[in-house]
Amino acid sequence: MNRRPPQIVAFGGGGFSMEAGNGLLDDFVLGLTGVERPKVCFLPSASGDADHYIVRFYRAFSPARCQPSHISLFRRDTGAGFGGDVTGHLLAQDLIYVGGGSLISLMGVWRAHGLDEVLRECWLRGVVLCGLSAGSLCWFSEAVTAFHGPPQRVRGLGLLPYSNCVHYDGEPARRDGYHRFLGEGMTAGYAAGDGAALHFHGEALAGVVSSRPSAEAYWVAAVGGEVSEMAQQVHWLGRSRTLTAA
């Protein structure tokens, strides 16, 4: 029986598609499975199942280190590594990795195919869920997306009862939009910069890890009409690797 707790790792930005040659975040989520060659399924829905994105996934998650597969919802060919039973395949995974792109498109196609409920069941069963950008925003009750232009409020899956903002250090318009939405009543939540990843056990933040020594993450809330940011302690994964090598 799978005894892993429900876990989500929400990258503010990073992983194989943003940090070529820096596998710290990808190694971290693989390690959370506790399996020598974990089953890893990539969901590139937010990119419209872009071919180049899928190819990059298979290069980063090779059969030498895991059992990779992907599911395409925008294509007649639903993907590789399974017999077309999307629900059964997802429930059998150790790790589900969601790519970046359009959060609005991702949520629309997931809800149309019923993946919102399937992913909730995966989470409850201990399948590790992770992703960057749209693949981070999707797990929260509310999110700030700016893929289609100015920042917008979007409803996520609600597995985590907070709001979320990604690319917090590199896109000032997102930060400004997040503060404005919080002032208008948006649920308080977490902001993460590129390289920072929020690690949740159940609904509680267990810690923040990073692939860059300067990455930052914050708890952000509107208090008394003013928006406040509380910096979170961040553990740089490269420090652990350096100590081990020494």
CA-CA distance, 46 to 23, in Å (whole number)? 22
Of residues 167, 179, 210, 211, which has the active-site annotation?
167
Kindly give, in sequence order, each residue whose CB lies less than 8 Å from that of residue 17, ignoring residues fewer than 6 positions away. Answer: 53, 56, 57, 99, 100, 132
Residue 100 contacts residue 46 (beta carbons within 8 Å): yes
Known catalytic residue at 17? no
Angle, CA of 166, 140 and 61, to the nearest 5°: 65
Per-residue burial over 169-181, b = 16 or more CB atoms within 10 Å of its CB, e = otherwise: bebeebbebbbeb
Residue 1 contacts residue 123 (beta carbons within 8 Å): no
Residue 205 contacts residue 230 (beta carbons within 8 Å): no
Residue 157 contacts residue 125 (beta carbons within 8 Å): no
Known catalytic residue at 240? no
Phi-psi category of 17—alpha, beta or left, where left has phi over 0 and alpha has psi -120 to 50?
Answer: alpha
Of residues 133, 136, 163, 210, which has the active-site annotation?
133
Active-site residue set: 133, 167
